[in-house]
Copies of this chain bind each other. A is one copy, B any other.
Amino acid sequence: MTHEGAGRHDERVVGDNAQVPDPYAALHVEVTSTVDRVADELRRAVFDGDLESGTPLRELALAASLGVARSTVREALGVLVGEGIATREPNRGVTVATPDVASVRDVCRARAVLEVAGVRRWAAATDDERSEVRAAVGAYTDAVRRGATYAELNETHLAVHVSLVGLAGSPRLVHMARSLVAELKLVLAQIDRAERNAHDQADTHGALVALLDAGRVEEAAHEIEHHLAAAEQDILRALGVA
């Protein structure tokens, strides 16, 4: 992903004219390199289940199939590897990552740390950050009530959790959370959809916000930890752990 765009031009502090507060905010151009597009396509394929975990990503074949040069594919694969969506073994190539039990546990534990840290800072967060959480929860519950597609439910649900991390007010933590969520999406993409119980967590998330609004932060933190532990168990069970 590597969001972070938002070109922030420096302010020349040379002296007098430091008054103009960027009249051209809210303007941005879409800069899209071929490497980015290839990486996007590969991500999409992985998350949509077109590429099962463990599938080797051959550079030549991908280059031919996508109509780009091998070096371009290679660079895109490097991005995927950096995001943890794929793994590279020296001289053996890149394959779609196969999450094992340990990594699922790890991702969930790390997620808990980040999200709890965010929740604990609810009171200290800005209004912007809080309203973003509310918006994310609203979008998710709306998707549930609307009976949206599985993919959309997933996306909005995970967005709620990322927004919780956003409460900590640290772009880097949010970036880490996104990376963890990407790995989680990889796992979810492998689990047979029928295997997973339907999303019925709209109430849970609403209750979480209610707790926070009531100032019962510690209860909310405990709640989210419980929620994540349950999710971890669900995933491990669906993965068919012995």
A176: Cβ under 8 A from any B Cβ: yes
Q: Is the CB of B172 within 8 A of A98?
A: no
Q: Binary interface profile of A, 54-75, with partner B (CB < 8 Å = 1, else 0)?
A: 1100000000000000010011
Complex interface: chain B residues within 8 A of A117 (CB): 113, 116-117
The segment from A102-110, A135-143, A152-160, A209-217 that touches chain B is: A102-110
Restricting to A113-149, which residues have a CB under 8 Å from any CB of B?
A: 113-114, 116-117
The segment from A19-27, A163-171, A185-193, A230-238 that touches chain B is: A163-171
Q: How far is the CB of A74 from chain B (nearest CB, A)?
A: 8
Complex interface: chain B residues within 8 A of A109 (CB): 168-170, 173
Complex interface: chain B residues within 8 A of A13 (CB): 100
Complex interface: chain B residues within 8 A of A114 (CB): 113
A33: Cβ under 8 A from any B Cβ: yes
A49: Cβ under 8 A from any B Cβ: no
Complex interface: chain B residues within 8 A of A71 (CB): 71
Complex interface: chain B residues within 8 A of A98 (CB): 11
Q: How far is the CB of A120 from chain B (nearest CB, A)?
A: 9
Q: How many copies does the complex hold?
A: 2
Name A171's contact: one of B11, B106, B170 (CB within 8 Å): B106
Q: At the interface, is chain A mostly helix, strand, loop or mixed? A: helix
Q: How far is the CB of A240 from chain B (nearest CB, A)?
A: 12
Complex interface: chain B residues within 8 A of A208 (CB): none
Complex interface: chain B residues within 8 A of A90 (CB): 31, 33
Max count, chain B CB within 10 A of own CB: residue among A55, A71, A106: A106
A180: Cβ under 8 A from any B Cβ: yes
A206: Cβ under 8 A from any B Cβ: no
Residue of B nearest to A114 (CB): B113
Name A176's contact: one of B6, B33, B54, B176 (CB within 8 Å): B176
A residues contacting B by CB (< 8 A) are 6, 8, 11, 13, 15, 31, 33, 54-55, 71, 74-75, 78-79, 82, 90, 98, 100, 106-107, 109-110, 113-114, 116-117, 168-173, 176, 180, 242
